[in-house]
Structure 1
Amino acid sequence: MASAMNSLIPAFTFILALVTRMEKLDLKVQSSQAKSIGTILSITGAYIVVFYQGPPILFSRPLPNLHSFSVSLQSNWIVGGFLLATSSFLISLLYIVQTWIIKDYPAEMVVTLFGCIFVTILSAIVALIVERDPNAWTLKPDVELITIVYSAVFMVSIRSVIYAWVCRIKGPVFVSTFRPLGMAFAVFMGVTFLKDTLHIGSVIGAVTIALGLYAVMWGKANEVQIIEENVISRVDSSSDKVPLLQNKSMEV
């Protein structure tokens, strides 16, 4: 369910970008058609990976003791789905607001620093309320500490800077389109390192996500090319006009 709700981020971002007029939708233009179709394909591919397995293609022997953990089935799926959908919407809204900020203040490192500071404060408050055991805050030089450092450096700092930079260059829709691609990489890493069985549904979903990503990238590139051609044509047309003062000086 988490992966399925996470795949809604491109759709939410595209809708919010249209509402805030960051993106223009004209179905008569090929670039808009490509972006719309690419977004739909990315979401469709993500749902294929999540909900459809199909016959297995590559059998792998599962690692021992991977399924020895007991999973509690007592959970509220309605509340969980609502919270995941809300999270996807807020992440999409974050891309929109971040694009507004980064275009007026093009300093990705500073924007990311302030964002991480506020997230750290909010996370610390929630963690102190939820976790009352002081022993849980003890850090030891083990795999857990390596995971925390890795997440802080790569999953938060570097990723946030790259997201902010791409939002300034290409816009929020381009950034959110890459979110479903992580599901395809997760399937590949699971088959490679965790010895998971590869199903045809994962392959079809990964190919669909790749096609959708390519369609969005092509649409954005075509859109930028049209804008550049319009700017060049305006400059050329304005340079052909001789200013009035220049004509006056030539007559004198």
Structure 2
Amino acid sequence: MEMEGRAGGSLPFVGMIMVVLVQASSMVVAKMAMSDGLNKYTLAFYCNALSSLVLLPCPFIISRRSGSCPPLTFTVLRKIFLLALVGSASQICGYAGIDYSSPVLGTAMMNLIPAFTFILAVISRMEKVNWKSSSSQAKLVGTVASILGALVITVYKGPTVLRSPSLPSFVHPRHLVSLLSRQLNWVLGGFLLAAEAFLLSLWFIMQAFILKDYPVVLNIMFYLMFFATIFSGLLSIIMVREPQSWTLKLDVGLIAILYSSLVAGVFRVTLCTWCLKKTGPVFVSMFKPLGIVFAVGLGFIFLGEKLHLGSLIGAAVIAMGFYAVMWGKSREEEKIIEDSGGADGSLASSSQKIPLLQSKSLSA
């Protein structure tokens, strides 16, 4: 029994390592595909379309097996439509940001999500702030530190700390290099990735409101991906003029589409949700900065990327800000437990009242 308990306790730890590794590797695979010529708009369209096909049976299965499933009203469908619009915008910003910069910067910028979500939660009155409490002060300091770290890693590149001996053959200069310098590309990518983090934070807040009216996650995900397929398809038709950009070949582009939609999408979100259910949101969120380590290693091996001092300094500042926000959140949950006198009920009410960490980890 003791051995089984230890094994069961270690499974969420292994699961979250896999979640973060898949997230970082998906950015590297997408970068490889775009460097090999795959258009970012068609990449988003094909990923959304394949995810929609995978999730297509969910509404039929859930409606048959669950008689208590609430009806999908036009109001809820309209909210999901807007949610898909925001999600599609964040997806395009993410692919463009990685295309112009690197997966290392992408994983670093994802640590801005708790800070942006905290700000939006305060504005929308989902998060109550007591400026005299240490937990609120920690979240405020962590938010400011995360934003400052993002500015450092975007504006200041610094000297090279780690250099790859050779550049892989599939990585070649893109068309934007002829128009802008590499430094401007890096800055542009940083701001696009910061925009992605902000839009994802807004996406989490909107998702929380939708879940109150329609708490059927898989159904929401299917309609979300369906609308996202329409948005990305229309955008691809407008932005992509070359017919060859729509052609799929047996190359790294096809691998990126399959990996991003199936492994980085369906598998990663499902595994992260299971870990969240087993351990809680604080445990899940603590693994987020580990993605920088994976992105550095994978980018160094597969992309021949250089590691700069600015990336290290900025990532360290963002990570400290991230953990400050997480610490403040965990202190709030502990206080709720102490005030209510019971762990189970308070944790449930905490996740319902303050969905900050839960929303973030579900899409991490």
Q: State the TM-score, normalized to the length of structure 2.
A: 0.50
Work out whether 1:214 is the aligned partner of 2:323. yes
Taking the TM superposition and a 5 Å limit, the aligned residue runs for 1:140-219 are 140-158=249-267, 170=281, 178=288, 185-219=294-328
Aligned length: 224
Give the residue type in structure 2 aligned to 1:39.
Answer: T
1:245 paired residue number:
none
Superposition RMSD in Å: 3.9
- Work out which of the residue numbers 218, 232, 235 in structure 2 matches 1:126: 235
2:246 paired residue number:
137
C-alpha separation in 2, matches of 1:130 and 1:199: 33
Identity score, percent = 45
C-alpha separation in 2, matches of 1:122 and 1:144: 21
Question: What secondary structure does 1:90 align onto?
Answer: helix
- Work out which of the residue numbers 39, 45, 58 in structure 1 matches 2:149: 45
C-alpha separation in 2, matches of 1:185 and 1:103: 35
Contact 1:38 1:213 (C-alpha < 8 Å) held by counterparts: yes
In the superposition, relative to structure 1, how do residues 38 and 181 fare at CA in structure 2: closer, same or farther (>3 Å)? farther
2:70 paired residue number:
none
In the superposition, relative to structure 1, how do residues 123 and 159 fare at CA in structure 2: closer, same or farther (>3 Å)? farther
Question: What secondary structure does 2:161 align onto?
Answer: strand
Q: State the TM-score, normalized to the length of structure 1.
A: 0.69
C-alpha separation in 2, matches of 1:147 and 1:115: 21
In the superposition, relative to structure 1, how do residues 38 and 150 fare at CA in structure 2: closer, same or farther (>3 Å)? same
CA shift at 1:94, angstroms? 1.2
Q: How far does the alpha carbon of each residue in 1:169-206 deviate from its partner, in whole angstroms, 9 at most, with x for none?
A: 759xx97x95x875665344333443433333222222
In the superposition, relative to structure 1, how do residues 225 and 118 fare at CA in structure 2: closer, same or farther (>3 Å)? same
Question: What secondary structure does 1:57 align onto?
Answer: strand
In the superposition, relative to structure 1, how do residues 25 and 227 fare at CA in structure 2: closer, same or farther (>3 Å)? same
Question: What secondary structure does 1:27 align onto?
Answer: coil
C-alpha separation in 2, matches of 1:25 and 1:225: 16
Taking the TM superposition and a 5 Å limit, the aligned residue runs for 1:1-252 are 2=97, 9-63=113-167, 66=171, 68-69=173-174, 71-73=177-179, 84=192, 89-158=198-267, 170=281, 178=288, 185-232=294-341
Contact 1:10 1:92 (C-alpha < 8 Å) held by counterparts: yes
Give the residue type in structure 2 aligned to 1:145.
Answer: L
CA shift at 1:90, angstroms? 3.5
C-alpha separation in 2, matches of 1:146 and 1:87: 23
Question: What secondary structure does 1:95 align onto?
Answer: helix
Show structure 1 runs of 5+ residues with no match.
234-252
Contact 2:150 2:314 (C-alpha < 8 Å) held by counterparts: yes
C-alpha separation in 2, matches of 1:86 and 1:214: 21
Contact 2:115 2:322 (C-alpha < 8 Å) held by counterparts: no
Contact 2:168 2:303 (C-alpha < 8 Å) held by counterparts: no
Question: What secondary structure does 2:341 align onto?
Answer: helix
C-alpha separation in 1, matches of 2:195 and 2:228: 17
Give the residue type in structure 2 aligned to 1:24.
Answer: K
Show structure 2 runs of 5+ residues with no match.
1-95, 98-104, 343-364
CA shift at 1:31, angstroms? 1.2
Q: How far does the alpha carbon of each residue in 1:43-74 deviate from its partner, in whole angstroms, 9 at most, with x for none?
A: 22233222223344334323265455552316
C-alpha separation in 2, matches of 1:86 and 1:204: 21
C-alpha separation in 1, matches of 2:242 and 2:301: 38
Give the residue type in structure 2 aligned to 1:35.
Answer: K
Contact 2:115 2:142 (C-alpha < 8 Å) held by counterparts: no
| Structure of larger gyration radius | 1
